[in-house]
Structure 1
Amino acid sequence: MNKPKYPKINYIGNKEKIASWICDQLPADVQTVADVFSGGCSFSYEAKKRGLSVIANDILQINHQLALALIENNDVILNDDDVDLIFSGSLKNGFMTEHYSDVFFFEQECQELDLYRQNIEKLDNPYKKALAFALIRRAMIRKMPYSRFTIPWEKVKQLRDEEYSYAKYGRRRAYHNQSFEFHFRENLRAYNQAVFNNGKQHQALNQDVFEVLNNIQADAVYLDPPYTGTMNNYFGFYGLLDSYISSSIAKPFDNHFMDKKQAIDLFKKLVEYLKPFRYWLFSYNNVSQPNREELAQMLAENGRKVQILETPHIYKVTGKENKQNHKEILFLVENI
């Protein structure tokens, strides 16, 4: 078997470049780890590669599909017949055409997405469906300037104009105008090869963080919450993909960690819900709120041992003037 390799996900805030460093900090007696803000699953994937049993949870449905495809799934891949089925048939006027034509994609592109959504439902295995959603996600992201669904339509059209892009940025970005099918097929092999079995069972969950912490057992919990005070609107970035999966307008979730006024209360609540677990690994950022000292104080209450590590890490959507000032902080907590 080829060595498992995390595929291209394009997830804002992804920890792909430092996932190995984070996993290095896991205590030796950890056998099961819960990644409760799993996002693009880079940490979960690295933990799975290291032979651990992984629980990957995220409140966004599209992130849940990524976790089903790459973490819970041990051996199911998409074959040529599956892919041909997804891209068969005539264009369809459906949910995407009605709600998002000339909003994020052109009308014909939305008709294509409606057809593919209908065909994905015909796949005979939930992990095949999850892989298909993960690959359609990749295709939609590749066609979207800045890889997020918060860009006004006029700007989208402007940036997809290859001559404009070349004149302004020196790059035509032709991949924005390649078809969904092109991007899906181009990435198919990498996603199929990313599926592997480490001999353990895994879970992919789609719950609010407090709900999942109340209902799981694990030796360690890894937390990578949205960083309050930074560009962290994950529902805005990726909520469209949830709408696509459900064929209904997705609603923002409650515990989003975006509101500075609520952040401290949410972190205090997190600490309460983490008390049943022995080890906590908490990713954070040196410009987030509550600040480093406030969070360290919360984590150290009741005699808990807290170690703080740092590594340089660029947060992708931060403005140019701030990128080099950001450091990734990892709080290691032993709950004794």
Structure 2
Amino acid sequence: MLLTESDLEKLISKSVNAPTFVRDTYRDLFFNEVDCTFLDNLWANIQTLDSPLKVSLALAAASRACMKKRPRGMFTFTGHKGWDERKDLKLSMREQFLTAVTALNGAVFSNGQQNAAFNLDVFSLPPDLADVVYIDTPYISPFSDCDYTRRYHFVEGFCRYWDGCEIMSKTSTKKIRSFDTAFSTKARAPAAFQRLFKHFKGSTLVVSYSSNSIPNKEEMVKLLKQEKKSVEVFESTHRYHHGNHAHKVGNNKNEVLEYLFIAQ
């Protein structure tokens, strides 16, 4: 199911019921008043779509538009830090949204299967949910945090229009309070992985991981072998990004080994 031309006309039209939360709270922090007003209006119109699939597409397009309008797609700083002559930063939010809809519509296809997506605590899912469970949790690292909420709080908030979110109003970015996860601390991560592997012990486990993460490779293999007889490890060199500052050029902390554990 795609967003049609008729849907788009509805989504970008003026809504008399549009709230003003984005404009009132985030104006000139990440986007100007025009773009913030567009997002408020867009949210109101998304609620009128007649299909949850179309709602999901529209929210995904809005999220992509917001991230394309930010340097590196992040919301950890305000103002125009990092802005340059890139086209993405010059386009209006409306233009970014329409571009994103085209891209996402083009990515929709049918695999002939019944599919489902869940936004739940992983441990609330039934253990026999799937034959193969692919695991890619936030990974704690000595070099950086794994707090995705801090980086992408604005789009997380927008997708639920900040319902149930605690906005930390004294912060410069008006970020929302992060959601607790045992995978985000050095002390709790090993037990969290142990619990996760045990929960899905009846499935083949495929774990994406990195050499700069905690627990380390050997500890992860040990945890997996507590539940599975066979553990294969595949490795590939990866560089997260190439720094263009003098102190970053040649900095090997950006280069890691990416692991894929397959446990059966």
TM-score clears 0.5: yes
Name the CA distance, whole Å, in 2 between partners of 1:315 and 1:129.
32
Cα–Cα, structure 1 residues 215 and 83, in superposed 2: closer, same or farther, change >3 Å?
A: farther
Indicate yes or no: 2:193 matched with 1:267: yes
Matches within 5 A, 1:294-313: 294-301=219-226, 304-313=229-238
Indicate the structure whose relative CO is greater, using CA pairs within 8 Å and at least 6 residues apart. Answer: 1
Q: Give the TM-score normalised by the residue count of structure 1.
A: 0.67
Name the CA distance, whole Å, in 1 between partners of 2:95 and 2:225.
51
Instruction: Indicate the SS of the match to 1:226.
Output: coil
What is residue 81 of structure 2 aligned with on the other side? 158
Indicate yes or no: 2:164 matched with 1:241: no
Indicate yes or no: 2:34 matched with 1:108: yes
Structure 1: gaps spanning 5 or more residues? 1-75, 166-171
Shift of the alpha carbon at 1:138?
1.0
Cα–Cα, structure 1 residues 181 and 137, in superposed 2: closer, same or farther, change >3 Å?
A: same
Q: Give the TM-score normalised by the residue count of structure 2.
A: 0.84
Name the CA distance, whole Å, in 1 between partners of 2:7 and 2:132.
37
Name the CA distance, whole Å, in 1 between partners of 2:105 and 2:228.
46
Shift of the alpha carbon at 1:325?
2.5
Name the CA distance, whole Å, in 2 between partners of 1:265 and 1:314.
29
Instruction: Indicate the SS of the match to 1:204.
Output: coil
Name the CA distance, whole Å, in 2 between partners of 1:149 and 1:180.
16
Cα–Cα, structure 1 residues 185 and 291, in superposed 2: closer, same or farther, change >3 Å?
A: same
**Percent identity between the two aligned chains:** 32
What is residue 322 of structure 1 aligned with on the other side? 252
Structure 2: gaps spanning 5 or more residues? 166-175
What is residue 133 of structure 1 aligned with on the other side? 59
Per-residue deviation, residues 214-241 of structure 1 (Å, max 9, x unmatched): 3652111000111211442211122221
What is residue 262 of structure 2 aligned with on the other side? 332
Name the CA distance, whole Å, in 1 between partners of 2:46 and 2:228.
51
What is residue 171 of structure 2 aligned with on the other side? none
CA contact (8 A) 1:311 1:328 kept: yes
Shift of the alpha carbon at 1:107?
2.5
Cα–Cα, structure 1 residues 79 and 302, in superposed 2: closer, same or farther, change >3 Å?
A: closer
Shift of the alpha carbon at 1:93?
5.1
2:159 maps to a residue whose letter is I
Aligned residues: 244
Indicate yes or no: 2:7 matched with 1:82: yes
Shift of the alpha carbon at 1:292?
0.4
What is residue 24 of structure 1 aligned with on the other side? none
2:252 maps to a residue whose letter is N
CA contact (8 A) 1:208 1:255 kept: no
RMSD across aligned C-alpha pairs, in angstroms? 2.2
Shift of the alpha carbon at 1:90?
6.0
